[in-house]
Amino acid sequence: MTSKDLITRYYDGCSDGDVDVLLSTLHPDVVHYFLAPNLGSAPVAGAEHLARYWRKVTRAIQARWVVDRLVGDGDEAVIEWTMFWLPAGADERVATRGAEWFVLRDGLIAEIRSYYQQREATTELDAFPYAARGYSLPGQEYSALHRPSSPEGSPT
């Protein structure tokens, strides 16, 4: 499996809250690091713990992740992603843009270093041409690189 296939499968598992799919992508000793001071910024360690963590998050905020760009080199990959989600009490989904560094071991995800700030409004680079470069957009929850397994444009 290529790093693109592995990482997009991981995000499909996150978006679907599918523990079995997530476990098929995660090294048993995986550690996911989060940028502080986000809510829930403590690292999450272990495949089972991380898979169940994403199932809980997905259900709580109706999240869907889309991989917009990926650069890979052997056992490491860097991506840009968008998480579409519904803040508590909100009527409209927002987009949180972020980046992550992946370390792969034995064909599985062994480490994730996540860089983003989650706000209750869309966060993105000012004046960046997202549409022209094939990135996901509000109302178009897929990119030129990744069409999540869940139906596009609707919450999971």
Residue 152 belongs to a domain: no
The average pLDDT across 130-139 equals 96
Residue 7 belongs to a domain: yes
Q: Is the pLDDT of residue 59 over 80?
A: yes
pLDDT reported for residue 151: 54
pLDDT reported for residue 108: 98
Residue 156 belongs to a domain: no
pLDDT reported for residue 88: 92
The average pLDDT across 75-83 equals 98
Domain of residue 75 covers 3-115
Residue 149 belongs to a domain: no
Instruction: State pTM to two decimals.
Output: 0.92
Domain of residue 82, CATH code = 3.10.450.50
Percent of the chain with pLDDT over 90: 88
Residue 124 belongs to a domain: no
pLDDT reported for residue 38: 82
Q: Is the pLDDT of residue 154 over 90?
A: no
Q: Is the pLDDT of residue 15 over 60?
A: yes
Q: What is the mean pLDDT of the chain?
A: 93
Angle between helices 3-16 and 47-61 (to 10 degrees): 50
Query: Strand pairing of 44-45 and 64-73?
Result: unpaired
Q: CA dist 73 to 28, 70, 77, 87, Å?
A: 22, 10, 6, 35
Residue 96 belongs to a domain: yes
The average pLDDT across 72-96 equals 95
Confidence of residue 145 (pLDDT cuts 50, 70, 90): very high
Query: What is the tally of structural domains in the chain?
Result: 1
Residue 136 belongs to a domain: no
pLDDT reported for residue 150: 67
Residue 14 belongs to a domain: yes
Compute the distance between CA of residue 103 and CA of residue 85 in angstroms, rounded to an integer: 26
Cβ atoms of 22 and 10 within 8 Å: the answer is yes
